[in-house]
Amino acid sequence: MEHASRTRPGRTVADLMTSPAVTAAASESLTAAASRMASERVGSVVVLDDGALAGILTERDLLAAGAAGADPAAATVGEWMTPGPDVVGPDEEVIDAWRRFAEHGYRHVPVVAGDEVKGVVSLRDLVRVAQLRPVDGLYTDVPRGLEGVVAAETSVGSVRGMEGFFHYRQYDATELARTRSFEDVCQLLFDGELPEAGRPSVADELAELSSLPAGLEALLPGIVAASPGAPLLDQLRSAVSLLGAVEGMRPTRDLTHVELRRDALRIVAAMPLLAAALHRLAGGLAPVPSDPALGMAANYLAMLTGSRPSPEAAAALERYLVLTIDHGLNASTFTARVVASTGADLAAAVVAAIGALSGPLHGGAPSRALDTLDAIGTPERAEAHITSLVASGERIMGFGHRVYKTVDPRSELMKETAREIGAPLSGLAEQVEQTVLSVLAEMKPDRKLYTNVEFFAGVVMDGCGIPRQMFTPTFALSRTVGWCAHVLEQAADNRIIRPASRYVGPPPPQPVPPRP
């Protein structure tokens, strides 16, 4: 693993010091030294005695002399300079020089090699060139891809990668997936508690929102017509953007928790309606009206396919949806929190999160995993096919994970579910899985690569009758719950998420070349 603590090799004090240094003699007046500093546009002068370093006089010293009532025409540099100052060497790494400046509060330090004064380096030079932020004395290096960096505090849930365990609030997520409905878990994430008998429930609230705003419904054919053949997820992203506008969603910063929660329920309820309607329209079919009495999972399947699903298919899909509602600070959830942290509206956060999810390294993997199964065709061909993919540097979709360094519990439950519903690709997928794992273990022995949720998720969705192009949109509609729960949390205790970057380009400032 390469870490971002890499500073550019060769970046030393000599690269950015002012050289030669602007100098003064100890016997000169402050007026003479100050006018030289002004004309040379520097913040300090190095004081020399017979060519050797005697001290440094800085703008701060001039201010101190003025504050003490000294007459600058009569007072001498020798009286107000810092004698025998700390020095840096020209070959010193920028990062080490910065540390010294930060520790001692220096602003200007002479650069000396042996007895010879080579120049002066200022805090401003260091900050400008190295793009270091002068906060808390030091800045923080982080690993590439922010691996292992804690960027938020949450009580929504978390992933324990070494144990192969994840949870929503205080409950084991796989147990919730086996026993609870999508709506129940949505309530757990939004309100912190599972529903109780006789009390108002999120299921009821979602059922009340089970049709699209009329203005939006009328716009959907336009989205499909304007982007024929575009990935359904892209069209869904556009539709969510319109939903925010049609509903007049206001910046999270201007909303109470109750108002923001209402927006969240509106988006969660709209996602399956939008995804199914867009799918139907893209196929030249009329959208199927929603039947909220079916429950979210069965209703979604019915709206997609136009016929009432079997209880087994609906239960399998529900399991998948619950299993993928949330999963730590994954890329799309982080994206949602970043957008919300600016105070933007909830639709903006969800649109951005859908964009992050669309990538094949995140949510775009399950259909590609099935494409790999198609390309393999029969189990005997698996080893040669996978070996050649890995040898050519390809990643096998549905394997590997940033956090899990052991079995992904979601993958296990999806494998079991695929078997239970007799998903057509279940047998081939299990055989290919074994081949992929043994090829990866042999060809990438230092990596801990296991099957992730996406491999068998595709097999389950296929077994439920969901077409391949709807895999990632289906993932998006469950993960919307997690995104919204995180936005609710972010908004309740917000500080804008604004990290720093390290500049590694050519040292500025360079003269701007004249226009050609």
The residue ranges that bind ligand ACO (CB under 6 A) are 145, 361-363, 365, 390, 395-402, 440, 444, 447, 449, 452-454
CA distances to 161, 169, 325, 482, 491 from 154, rounded to whole Å, are 17, 9, 15, 11, 12
Pairing of strands 108-113, 116-122: antiparallel
In the block, residue with structure tokens 């649109």: 351
CB within 8 A of 509, min separation 6: which ones? Answer: 128
Alpha-carbon gap, residue 27 to 268, rounded angstroms? 77
**CB–CB of 425/462 below 8 Å?**
yes
Neighbour count for residue 170 (Cβ, 10 Å): 9
Shorter beta-carbon distance to ligand ACO: residue 399 or 456: 399
Which residues does the annotation mark as catalytic?
A: 401, 454
Alpha-carbon gap, residue 192 to 188, rounded angstroms? 5
Alpha-carbon gap, residue 313 to 141, rounded angstroms? 48
**CB–CB of 463/316 below 8 Å?**
yes
Shorter beta-carbon distance to ligand ACO: residue 60 or 405: 405
In the block, residue with structure tokens 């005695």: 49
Least CB distance to ligand ACO at residue 131 (A): 25
CA atoms within 13 A of residue 46's CA, in its CB half-sphere: 27
Shorter beta-carbon distance to ligand ACO: residue 248 or 445: 445
Least CB distance to ligand ACO at residue 122 (A): 39
Shorter beta-carbon distance to ligand ACO: residue 305 or 478: 478
CB within 8 A of 57, min separation 6: which ones? Answer: 24, 30, 33, 44, 45, 47, 77, 80, 81, 82
Alpha-carbon gap, residue 28 to 12, rounded angstroms? 32
Select the residue whose beta carbon is closest to ligand ACO and give its number. 400
Neighbour count for residue 246 (Cβ, 10 Å): 19
Least CB distance to ligand ACO at residue 331 (A): 7
Least CB distance to ligand ACO at residue 6 (A): 16
Shorter beta-carbon distance to ligand ACO: residue 127 or 428: 428
Least CB distance to ligand ACO at residue 390 (A): 6
Least CB distance to ligand ACO at residue 33 (A): 56
For residue 492, what are its two tokens? 């309740």
Shorter beta-carbon distance to ligand ACO: residue 14 or 386: 386
